[in-house]
Structures are given as C-alpha cells and as structure tokens.
C-alpha cells in the first residue's frame, strides 16, 4: 500500500490546482521553502532540470555568436535612474543595500532586478566604432524583485535567469535580433520542453519598462492560465542616449547604437510542471529530465536480477541516456509511484521471468502504456519511447491549447468566456489601453497576453468599446 | 610597428608586478572595472576561462556523487548569528539589505558571504535518519564580502565560486571528505591549471570562522607571493548543534551529523595569470584556454590561403580542439602579439609557401619554440604541442617553487629571507599563535600558509621563540 500513500498524498489537480502544484513541487523534491521571505531553495532534482535547460539554451545562444559575461550584482541608485521609464518600472520592487563592511553607504545599491543599466555603462566604455558592433552578450545570473506573494518557480523574490543584451549599428539589425531570439525561445519551448505556445508582441501597456517593443512567448498551463514564458525587447536608442553610448559609423558620422535584451528564467520549471503534470505527479519532457529512464528490478534479490539491471543500465548510458537503477529496499510498487511522481519519462521493469525471456517491460510516463520490449537493441527502443513521450506531450499541450482558446466578438461573449471558460480569448481591440483596463476590471484580471504574429479578422470592431479594431489580441489570466 | 605598440603597452613584470597584472587583465580583455565599488565585470574572454574551469571541476564533483543545488542569496541576521565564531568572522564584511519593495525590513538581510547557515537550515529540514546521509551538495554562486582595497579576480567585493557543503553520519567519513575534496583541488590545479602547489592544514589562527580544521592549497605566484587557492573545512558537529540538526542512527540513538564545506573561486583566474604569465602577456594552460589554437593566415589575400586556413581549422575542431582563425585586416605581426597577449597556447602560421610545402609553422606560447609541422596528421601534432605547453608550464612552476622556497632555522635567517628573498620560508614552530603574530609584525606581513602534509624536521625548536617545535610551517606573504 506504500505506493498508494505516496500518490494519495497529493491533491488532485481538478480539486485544487494551486495545491496540486505545491504538492508536486514538494513531493517531487524540486524546491523547498527557505527561512528567507520569498526566496526558495532549489533542490538537486529541480536544479538538475535547470542545468539541462541551461546547457541546451546556452548552446543555442553560442551557435548564434553570443558570448557570456558577468556583470556586478549591485546597481548604484544613480545608475538605475539614468533611464526614466526603466527606473519607474523597477525601483518599487528593488531590494536595497544600505550598509557594507560595517558602514552606512553614501549611495544605496539596488540588488539587480535586471541589468540593462550595467550593460549600458559597460557598452559605453567598449563601443567606439562600427567595428565594435554588434556586441552579442548574455549572462546567467540571479536577480531580485521584491514580491508580496510568492510561489516556488513561478514568482519568487530571487530567481535565476539568463539575460541577453545586444548592441547593433542599425535599427534593422537590432529588430532582427529581437525576433531571432524570440524564435530561439519558441523553438526551445517546442523542441526541448515539449510546449507549443502562443507568441506575439505585447501592447504598450504590457511592455517592459524602457522598451520600445516587447515580444513574448505565452504558454498555456493545463488549467487554461497563461504564464509569461520569456520576453525579447527592442529598446531603440533610448538607453544609448540616456547613457551617451555612441559609435563612429563607416561614413564617419557619430551614431547611437540600437539595443535589445531578452530573458527566460527558472519560471520555465513552473511551466513544465503546470503544462505536463497530472494527478500522479510530474511529467518531465525527456530532453530536460535528470533521469530519463528508471530501471526497477523486480524480485531484486533473486540471482542475476540486479546484475542484469546494471548491465542494461550501462548499455543505455553508453548510448547517451541518463539512467537510474533503483536498488533501494522499497517495494517495486512504491518505486513505480515514486518515479511517476518524479516524472521520469520511461520506466523499465525487469524481473527473473523478463530476463529469461530476454525482454523487459517498458512504461511510458506520458501515456501509461506498457510494452514488452526485447533486451536486444534496447537502447533504440528506449530512445523511440522517449521520442514518443516528447511527441505525446506536444500533442496533449496542442489539444489543450486548442480546446481552451475561445473567440469573442461581443463584450457579453467575452465576459462569459472569462467567467466560465478558463483559457485564452481571441478578440479584436481598438488599440487603446483604456479598453485593456476596462477588460481587466470587468473580468477580475483578464489581461492582454499579446498581439499574435498571425492575427485573424474576427470582427471589424473592438470587443470592448465598439470603435474600429486595430488588432486581434489574445487575452487571458496569468501567473 | 603595431605589434610593438601592443606589447610596449604593458609594464614589465620585473619593473612593477602589480601594474603588470593590471595591464594583463585589461589588455587581454579578461575583466573591466565597473562603476560599482569593488565589483568587476568579467568580460567574454575571462568568463570563457571560468566556464572551462566550472565544467572540469563540476564533472570531478559529480563523479564523486555530489549534487548541485541553489540556496537563497540572502541570510536573515538572526540566522547568521546562530553559530558564534562564524558570525564574528563574517558579519564585519557583510553587505546588508535593509529596504525591500519600498519598505524598511523588520530584519536586516546579509548578502551571502558564504552559505553554511543556509545549508544548515535546509539540512535540518531534510535530515532525519542515517538513511538521509551523507548529503553531498554543491552550489555555483556569487558571494559578497565587503573589501576596502580590491583587485580584479584576486580580491573583489563580489566574486563567483563553488561552495560544497556535506553532512555525514560519522566524524571519520566527514574527515575523509575534507581531504578527498582538497585532493580534488590539488589534482585540478596540477592537471588542469598546470599549477603544482603546496597543500596542508591551516593553523588555528588562520582557519575558517567556525571550522574545527581548515585545509588549504597554496600556489606560489611567479613573484614568490602565495595565493590561498582553495580551502576545505571540517566543522565537526558545531553547526549541527547550533542549528539542532540531528538524525536517528542505525542503533536508534539520536546523533548530530558531521559537516564539511569546501570552495574555490574566480581567484583561480588570478592564479593562472600570476603563475604562468610573462612580459608578453597571459599564458593560458591549454585545458582552460578559450582558444587553444590561433591560426594566422600569412599573405591572407593570396588565392587559397584563407580557404586552407579554414579547412585546417575545421579539421582541428573535428578533433575536439578550440580553434580560431584570425581573418581580420591586422598584420600577421600584430596578430602574433595579440594572441601572445591573450595567452593562446599554440599559434599556427600558414602562408602560400607553407601550403605549397604541405606544412605550417607551429609556435608554442610556453617556450616560444617554432616548429615546422606537416599538415598531414596536424591534429596529433597540435595535441602534442598543447600537452607540451601544459608540461612546460608545470615544470616552470615547479622550478619557481623550488627556487623560491627557503629554509630558516634561526629568526635572523627568517628575517633575512623575509626581507630579501621573496618566496616561501620553511621553519619550525612551537604551535603558539603568539609566534605567528610576532613573525607577522617583525616581517611586515609574512604569515603561516599551512602545516604541510609532509613535514621536515629542520630543527628541534621554534624559529621564533626557541621553545620546542611542534610542526614545520610554510610561511609567506599572500594576496
């Protein structure tokens, strides 16, 4: 009954999605609360997912010529204030260092909430000529944004992320970079995290503090709620002017360079949990799963079973797979439940009879399907099963997204969806932030997610005010 | 003359070692100063060295069963105060956050100077039984220790490091871990950084705040000054008692676990610069060099030269080497000087005549030796040359260490070495911290580096006070 206890200890997602999320984070040992308000401890299993995410994304960045750097943790208040919109957006959520080495500081230091200002200061000292451009920089760091209510991975006062910061000679090149990096995120979400998602441009109201334009990727969680999954910003030359960054162009004119930044964070682990998980726990996309294959020896103490399990594991590892043999004294049933909870994509059950038959039982975490597979050529079967898990997850997310995306052409219809149909709402919009405000108030929190790249002409008028429509928006509640 | 300008712009190490160091850091584009007091910007070339260091060390840790985690950046003041010696050691150099989200905090938060207290708090919540032990954790993070005078990599208010934190059921096992991890550092310094170094135990006076024992690795820089290159601490159960961490042992008794921590930091980049560099700039150990081979096309615009250079580069990359072809418009001479400055271990010169002969010129950054090598089987020749650079560096450091290590059996002799012979001094010691203090005062800063694992019996009495000797110490000035 041990396996029952393990599974029963998490709340069903249909009963209470928020509690289910918290239960999965704790039971799968992804993260823990700390005594520091709003800060989390990322446990080994959660951190190993982050390491796999980093490795994959970092290779994508470097393949496009980006270089990693490290900027200071602290931003002097005067530096943060150089770009007006930016400081207005971030100063209210900063943590401030006021004492250092036993003395009160003459100027407060913000713990970086994001690093545009630090990069600008550095760019100013290293960019002089068109030969110095483009600068394609990225850093993997911790940032702090003071939050009142926090949830592990989704919203924490400190989180880990990457922030890309680039400088270009022309607006055209900078705009290309912004869309190129959004595409990197979109590909990564689909190919690595198995999450197809909506992408598009943020409205003026929802864009990043200091940006000219913000592009976003907005995956939908299983319960129909959106998560802002990554953003890519075009800054024009606003920061360059504020920080006096100039370069001598080929024609000998002094110009301001054009800037971008783009980032994704440990929130992505929250997205993985909430898009793929089920009532048995986590389901990890195979590309980032710390353990891709769990081998459970059955009748473990019978002669030859453990030896065979280890032999099989070694063969799979040699094929490049991440494998764990569970040799603990827990019952096989307990182990099945444990690796389901931890979202291990493929489980292999191997007992004396299987060994006699030269086969084992392969179970997919995505579909629950059990197959008897031959131990000959097992690595290929397992790889196929892992691909199968990835594809099944993509398919499921795609279906969920389609099933929970609604269309509204009247405000009543919009309000009905907002109240009764959790998910995204596609509706036309006049371009006025006042309508976004009105929708948010009338629905208790539905906001514009983005102007998608592929807009449809659902109606000639704004769903909110009836004036001529400028864009189709995707709307939704968000984490 | 361009190449001359580049080289002339750095100070000779014999004229002013400190200025030479600063010049190399700037000219090789390893780091830059920031507007934030005491904090540095690690530039792409410097950060790439750090990434290679991380990758190598991380694999060594994981091979021994260590898991990576992430603990919060902030430590509430009350948590830091739980272990008396520890807080006394670190509180004076903490940076304190007092405001967050626009409000004054009810309790100050230290920006972590090290994370023993946070790990202890977490261990308390996850360690209950002997089955939960050992816990072998590590994290790669930034830490802050407020410094008055700072130098890039060597001493900065913020630096990057790894900190391992482990908990064990017995003292024996914990003590094994402490020495095992010191050995990992020693192997890494030798095998990867090409730096043979002195290892041993710190005296009571020099040990880490809160530790029972501290072990250290002490490489000697080219100028004879020591750098504390990494430490490994045994804590006993002191923190466990202070934090009330207990476990139920196999015999059902409640016990305190035994603890260790160990760390190395971005200081290691300072050690690389100062042990291997010369008046032409940096010399990088091949294992961590971001570019291992620089290919310089000669008469680049002659037909076929660039094509051949790229072909050669691709072949070397396919053999797993990190290669750069410099296709810029600078003269070959300028490029030679530039890659010497940047410490690239092997340079290949490839011109029309070389191509005709099916060969190229290979130059070792360690010895300056030029060899004509065949383009057939070039990867093997280059790998051999890289191994040659590594071995030459090891040999040179070993010679420097031997040449600058002196023996003193009388205090006069000791003072003479301290005043006139930069380097390490081996001398007997009574075990009393008062003698360490006296030596430091009399010499203007010579301190005990460590009690080496292999002590010699140089004299029966303490070099300072004449009382019976307990140990041989290695003494020296330090960064």
CB–CB of A178/A159 below 8 Å? no
Nearest CA in chain A to B137: A44
**Any domain includes A235:** yes
Interior angle at CA A98, CA A93 and CA A100, nearest 5: 130
B43 & B148 share domain:
yes
A36 close to B (CB below 8 A): yes
**Which neighbouring-strand residues pair with B261?**
B165, B233
* Chain B residues whose beta carbon lies within 8 Å of the beta carbon of residue A74: 36, 39, 95, 158
Instruction: Report the distance separating Cα A319 and Cα B388, nearest Å.
Output: 34
Per-residue model confidence (pLDDT) at position B37: 84
B380 & B412 share domain:
no
A49 close to B (CB below 8 A): no
Of B248, B276, B304, the residue that ends a domain is B276
Q: Give pLDDT < 50 ranges for chain B.
A: 1-3
* Chain A residues whose beta carbon lies within 8 Å of the beta carbon of residue B157: 100
Give the E-state strand segments of A170-298 in sequence order: 198-201, 213-218, 230-236, 247-248, 254-255, 258-265, 293-297
Chain B: closest CA distance from residue A413 (Å)? 38
CB–CB of A47/B24 below 8 Å? no
Instruction: Report the distance separating Cα A283 and Cα A276, nearest Å.
Output: 6
Q: What are phi and psi of A355, to 5 degrees?
A: -60, -40
Q: How far is CA A456 from the centre of its chain?
A: 27
| pLDDT tens sequence across B323-366 | 999 999 999 999 999 999 999 999 999 999 999 999 999 999 99
Instruction: Report the distance separating Cα B427 and Cα B464, nearest Å.
Output: 9
Question: What are the strands of the beta sheet with B359-364, ordered from one edge?
Answer: B323-325, B293-297, B346-350, B359-364, B370-374
Collapse the DSSP code of A267 into the 3-class scheme (helix H, G, I; strand E, B; otherwise coil) and give the result. Answer: helix
Of A354, A387, A420, the residue that ends a domain is A387
Task: A8-12: list long-range contacts, CB under 8 Å, 24+ apart.
Answer: A10/A279, A10/A281, A10/A341, A12/A279
Collapse the DSSP code of A435 into the 3-class scheme (helix H, G, I; strand E, B; otherwise coil) and give the result. Answer: helix
Longest dimension (CA), chain A: 81
The total number of structural domains in chain A stands at: 3
Nearest-CB residue to A160 (from B70, B76, B118)? B70
Q: What are phi and psi of A53, to 5 degrees?
A: -60, -50
B200 & B109 share domain:
yes
A345 & A423 share domain:
no
Q: Pinpoint the alpha helices (H) of A359-470.
A: 378-403, 411-420, 433-443
- Cα A96 to Cα A41, A71, A93, A113, A161, distances in angstroms: 22, 17, 10, 11, 20
Question: DSSP per residue over A127-188, as a string?
Answer: --BGGG--EEEEEEEEEE---SS-BTTTB-SEEEEEEEEEEESSHHHHHHHHHHHHHHHHHH
**Any domain includes B345:** yes
A188: nearest Cα among A217, A152, A228, A226: A217
A72 & A204 share domain:
yes
Output the tens digit of pLDDT for each of chain A's 479 residues.
344 555 567 999 999 999 999 999 999 999 999 888 889 999 999 999 999 999 999 999 999 999 999 999 999 999 999 988 888 889 899 999 999 999 999 999 999 999 999 999 999 999 999 999 999 999 999 999 998 889 999 999 999 999 999 999 999 999 999 999 999 999 999 999 999 999 999 999 999 989 999 999 999 999 999 999 999 999 999 999 999 999 999 999 999 999 999 999 999 999 999 999 999 999 999 999 999 999 999 999 999 999 999 999 999 999 999 999 999 999 999 999 999 999 999 999 999 999 999 999 999 999 999 999 999 999 999 999 999 999 999 999 999 999 999 999 999 999 999 999 999 999 999 999 999 999 999 999 999 999 999 999 999 999 999 999 999 999 999 99
B289: nearest Cα among B364, B238, B223: B364
B320 & B219 share domain:
no
**Any domain includes B7:** no
**Any domain includes B55:** yes
Instruction: Report the distance separating Cα B292 and Cα B295, nearest Å.
Output: 10
Residue B329 maps to which CATH number?
3.40.50.800
B122: nearest Cα among B259, B250, B251, B232: B259
Residue B69 to residue A41, Cβ atoms within 8 A = yes
B70 close to A (CB below 8 A): yes
Instruction: Report the distance separating Cα A320 and Cα A333, nearest Å.
Output: 27
Q: Within a 10 A sphere around the Cβ of B101, how many other Cβ atoms?
A: 16
A143 & A214 share domain:
yes
A414: nearest Cα among A375, A380, A458, A454: A458
Nearest-CB residue to B95 (from A39, A97, A121)? A97
Q: In terms of residue numbers, what domain contains A465? A: 405-476
Interface list for A 89-108 with B (CB within 8 A) = 92-102, 108
**Any domain includes A217:** yes
B467: nearest Cα among B424, B433, B436, B431: B431
Instruction: Report the distance separating Cα A43 and Cα B138, nearest Å.
Output: 11
Who contacts A105 (Cβ-Cβ below 8 Å, separation ≥6)? A97, A98, A99
A64 & A200 share domain:
yes
A70 close to B (CB below 8 A): yes
Of B342, B360, B388, the residue that ends a domain is B388
Interface list for A 120-159 with B (CB within 8 A) = 121-122, 125-126, 137, 141-142, 144, 146-148, 157-158
Query: What's the complex ipTM?
Result: 0.96
Residue B97 to residue A95, Cβ atoms within 8 A = yes
Residue A181 maps to which CATH number?
3.30.930.10
Residue A441 maps to which CATH number?
3.30.110.30
Per-residue model confidence (pLDDT) at position B85: 86
* Chain B residues whose beta carbon lies within 8 Å of the beta carbon of residue A146: 100-102
**Any domain includes A393:** no
A211 & A335 share domain:
no
A272 & A297 share domain:
no
B263: nearest Cα among B173, B174, B166: B166
Torsion of CA A376, A379, A384, A386, to 10 degrees: 140
Residue A76 to residue B43, Cβ atoms within 8 A = no
Work out the angle between the directed axes of helices B305-318 and B378-403 (0-180°, nearest 10).
70
Instruction: Report the distance separating Cα B20 and Cα B18, nearest Å.
Output: 5
Nearest-CB residue to B101 (from A73, A93, A97)? A93
A230 & A303 share domain:
no
Chain A: closest CA distance from residue B21 (Å)? 20
**Any domain includes A397:** no
Question: What are the strands of the beta sheet with A293-297, ordered from one edge?
Answer: A323-325, A293-297, A346-350, A359-364, A370-374
Chain B: closest CA distance from residue A71 (Å)? 5
Instruction: Report the distance separating Cα B293 and Cα B296, nearest Å.
Output: 10
Who contacts B199 (Cβ-Cβ below 8 Å, separation ≥6)? B182, B186, B215, B216, B217, B218, B450, B452, B453
Instruction: Report the distance separating Cα B39 and Cα B278, nearest Å.
Output: 26
CB–CB of B417/B466 below 8 Å? no
E strand or H helix at B136: strand B135-144
Instruction: Report the distance separating Cα A387 and Cα A392, nearest Å.
Output: 8
pTM: 0.97
* Chain A residues whose beta carbon lies within 8 Å of the beta carbon of residue B93: 101
Using the CB atoms, write b or e for B327-353: b if 16+ within 10 Å.
Answer: eeebebebbbbbbbbbbbbbbbbbbbe
B356 & B305 share domain:
yes
**Any domain includes A283:** no
Chain B: closest CA distance from residue A367 (Å)? 30
Which tokens sit at B471?
Answer: 């140990």
- Cα A98 to Cα B76, B108, B114, B401, distances in angstroms: 15, 10, 20, 44
Instruction: Report the distance separating Cα B198 and Cα B398, nearest Å.
Output: 10
Which of B54, B72, B317 best probes binding to A when mutated, by most A CB atoms within 10 angstroms?
Answer: B72
């Amino acid at each position: 009954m041990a396996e029952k206890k393990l599974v029963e200890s998490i709340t069903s997602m249909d009963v209470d999605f928020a509690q289910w999320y918290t239960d999965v984070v704790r039971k799968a040992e992804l993260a823990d609360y700390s005594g520091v308000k709003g800060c989390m401890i990322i446990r080994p299993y959660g951190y190993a997912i982050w390491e796999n995410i980093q490795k994959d994304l970092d290779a994508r960045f470097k393949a496009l010529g980006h270089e990693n750097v490290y900027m200071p943790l602290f931003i002097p208040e005067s530096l943060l204030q150089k770009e007006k919109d930016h400081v207005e957006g971030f100063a209210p959520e900063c943590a401030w260092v006021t004492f250092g080495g036993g003395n009160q500081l003459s100027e407060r230091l913000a713990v970086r909430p994001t690093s545009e200002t630090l990069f600008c200061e550095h760019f100013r000292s290293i960019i002089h000529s068109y030969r110095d451009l483009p600068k394609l920089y990225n850093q993997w760091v911790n940032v702090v944004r003071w939050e009142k209510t926090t949830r592990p991975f989704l919203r924490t006062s400190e989180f880990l992320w990457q922030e890309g910061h680039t400088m270009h000679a022309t607006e055209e090149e900078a705009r290309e970079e912004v869309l190129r990096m959004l595409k990197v995120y979109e590909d990564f979400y689909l190919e690595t995290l198995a999450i197809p998602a909506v992408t598009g441009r943020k409205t003026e109201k929802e864009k990043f503090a200091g940006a000219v334009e913000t592009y976003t990727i907005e995956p939908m969680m299983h319960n129909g709620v959106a998560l802002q999954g990554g953003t890519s910003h075009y800054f024009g030359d606003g920061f360059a002017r504020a920080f006096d960054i100039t370069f001598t162009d080929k024609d000998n004119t002094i110009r301001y360079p054009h800037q971008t930044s783009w980032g994704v964070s440990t929130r992505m682990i929250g997205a993985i949990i909430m898009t793929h998980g089920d009532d048995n726990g986590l389901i990890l996309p195979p590309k980032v799963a710390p353990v891709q294959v769990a081998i459970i020896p059955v009748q473990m103490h019978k002669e030859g079973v453990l030896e065979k399990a280890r032999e099989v594991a070694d063969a799979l590892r040699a094929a490049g797979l991440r494998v764990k043999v569970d040799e603990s004294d827990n019952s096989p049933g307990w182990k099945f439940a444990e690796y389901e909870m931890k979202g291990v994509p493929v489980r292999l059950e191997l007992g004396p009879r299987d060994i006699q038959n030269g086969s084992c039982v392969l179970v997919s975490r995505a579909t629950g399907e059990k197959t008897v597979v031959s131990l000959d050529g097992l690595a290929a079967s397992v790889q196929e099963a892992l691909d199968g898990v990835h594809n099944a997850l993509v398919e499921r997310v795609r279906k969920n997204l389609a099933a929970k995306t609604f269309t509204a052409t009247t405000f009543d219809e919009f309000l009905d969806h907002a109240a009764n149909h959790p998910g995204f709402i596609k509706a036309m919009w006049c371009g006025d932030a006042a309508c976004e405000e009105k929708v948010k108030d009338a629905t208790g929190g539905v906001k514009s997610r983005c102007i998608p790249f592929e807009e449809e002409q659902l109606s000639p008028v704004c769903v909110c005010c009836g004036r001529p429509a400028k864009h189709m928006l995707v709307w939704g509640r968000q984490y």
